[in-house]
Amino acid sequence: MMGISTGKQYIDRINKRNTNIWIDGNRITGNISEHPAFKGVMASQAKLYDLQHKQELKDLMTFESPKSGNLIGTSFLDPKTKEDLEKRRLMIQEWAKAHAGMMGRSPDYMNTILMVLNAASDLFSVEDDQCAENMRNYYEYIRENDLSLTHVFVKPQNDRSKKGVASENIAARMIKETEEGIIINGSRILATQAGMTDEILVYPIGSNANDDAFAYAFAIPCDTPGLTFICRESFAYKDSHYDHPLGSRYDEMDAVVLFDDVLVPWERVFLHGNLVVNSLLYTQSHFFEHIAHQVVSKNVIKTEFILGTIELIIKSINISEYQHIKEKFSEVAIALETMKGFLYQSEKNAKINQWGSMMPDPNPLLAAVNYYPKIYPRLMEIIQLMSASGLVAIPNEQDFQADIGDDLKKHLQSANQDGYDKVKLFRLAWDLSMSAFGSRQQLYERFFFGDPVRLANQLYTDYKRESSINLVKEFLEQD
């Protein structure tokens, strides 16, 4: 039992694993933390772990384990009071500041998921008490050792019209149960941070299984035999933080996951075939409320980062006198204040749920996860509309170091910076709004929490509206 991890411990652990991970047609061999696609983002993740050890942040980022007495990460904290919720938010935001809100899978995301599944572990006993016990043991194991996780819960995109029964011979399914555990065969999408985590959690959130072969939940080490991760191409491109300020640091990577008769030992199985648990898991665990609280806390910081970038662009080329620029800035400020409003409102109206956890109010969070995927592309459009050619007049670091460097410093100067510093800012704006990294961020914000169309349907179903209805009924009853 060790408590909070350091960045070095995280890197060493991942390097020691023999995870089967492929990129550009080759299996990665050697230290994954030195591979060009993973180097930057793993260093960023390591910095997050190190922040937990900073003396001045320890009270915020950690708490004492009820089991071992060791310091463990605040994102594992099951909130019992509104103060706990606030502490969780501040901790999440401390990490988000360190990654400019660009790492959707910073460890607090998965830690929050485990916290929820542990709090609601009784749900798993509907199938089998041992499954509930396994869930609690697993949460404790990850918490006490501060291990990192990725997750997959989507069936491959083959023929969506076939709904739950789609791609039976493709989508990962349970093919048998043995004395040692369950055997999984097939594939799943889409594991963000795949290959750079210790473990993978596989579960049926949002999958509407109507066949018990798809009703499973488990977690295994990423180097379990038979497990393969196949990455997209890297958007980190180069090491240079000047050229790719965001991609070189925060490209989290996404991978398809193949299960080739993977044996999941019984102690790691949380669900194996029970369609009732499968259907209750998302709603009854209150997965949504806690994860959305993490997401919105992070996205407040992301929006602050965007607003700061936009204001520096305005000052850089001195365009603040134009009314449409002020109006566009105001759109960004409104987005930021709206997100903060959703977040604080969710905490203010938080209530203890059936698992004894202080649960944020879902109404503002439902609004937030429907709002942000729509406003985020607009924020990126505003960066483009304000920056214009500034997003392509961006020679790279090597150009500035070459003989032409002085000419570039002069000719690309802005109202308040020389060419080198102006291009540094505009390369950031480009990486946010236009590069492969920036486009992936847009796609991420649109889809990572699920299809926006179905999220809107979820809002229609779950939004609490009794007070509005009563207002109208009382009005109608007046005569």
Ligand X SMILES: Cc1cc2nc3c(=O)[nH]c(=O)nc-3n(C[C@H](O)[C@H](O)[C@H](O)COP(=O)(O)OP(=O)(O)OC[C@H]3O[C@@H](n4cnc5c(N)ncnc54)[C@H](O)[C@@H]3O)c2cc1C
Binding interface with ligand X (CB under 6 A): 151-154, 157, 160, 190-192, 254, 440, 443-444, 447-448, 450-451, 453-454
The amino acid at residue 132 is: A
Judged by CB, which is closer to ligand X: 90, or 154?
154
Whether the CB-CB separation of 89 and 68 falls below 8 Å is answered with no
Q: Give least dist CB 413 to ligand X, A.
A: 37
One-letter amino acid of 108: D
469, 369 Cβ separation under 8 angstroms: no
In whole angstroms, the minimum distance from the beta carbon of 153 to ligand X comes to: 4
Please identify, using beta-carbon distances, which residue of 192 and 299 lies nearer to ligand X: 192
> Which lies closer to ligand X via its Cβ, residue 107 or residue 419?
107
Non-local CB neighbours of 428 within 8 Å, separated by 6+ positions: 245, 246, 309
- For residue 90, the minimal CB distance to ligand X (Å) is 25
**Amino acid residing at 463:** Y
> Residue 101: which of 44, 146, 55 has the closest Cα?
44
Least distance to ligand X, CB of residue 343, Å: 22
The nearest distance, CB 151 to ligand X, in angstroms, is 5
The least CB distance from residue 188 to ligand X, in Å, is 7
Using the minimum distance from each CB to ligand X, give the nearer residue, 221 or 450. Answer: 450
Shortest spacing between CB 434 and ligand X, in angstroms: 17
Q: At what angle do helices 362-387 and 452-462 cross, to 10 degrees?
A: 150
Nearer to ligand X, 371 or 447 (CB): 447
CB of 295 to ligand X, least distance (A): 12
CA distance readout (Å), 418 to 395, 405, 464: 13, 11, 54
Burial of 106 (0-12, 13-18, 19+ CB in 10 A): buried
Residue sitting closest to ligand X (CB): 192
Of the pair 453, 476, the CB lying nearest ligand X is at: 453
Which residues, 6 or more positions from 5, have their beta carbon under 8 angstroms from its beta carbon? 13, 49, 52, 145, 146, 147
What's the closest the beta carbon of residue 195 comes to ligand X, in angstroms? 12
CB of 306 to ligand X, least distance (A): 18
- SS3 of 295-316: HHHHHHHHHHHHHHHHHHHHHH
Cα angle 285, 289, 293; round to 5 = 140
Query: Which residue lies nearer to ligand X by CB, 157 or 283?
Result: 157
Shorter beta-carbon distance to ligand X: residue 18 or 457 = 457
Q: In what order do the strands lie in the sheet with 181-192?
A: 26-27, 21-23, 227-231, 254-265, 181-192, 173-177
Structure token pair of residue 418? 């020389």
Q: Does the CA dihedral 2-140-53-41 come out positive or negative?
A: positive
**In terms of CB distance, is 157 or 416 closer to ligand X?**
157
Nearer to ligand X, 366 or 425 (CB): 366
CA quadruple 181, 186, 188, 193: dihedral, nearest 10: 70
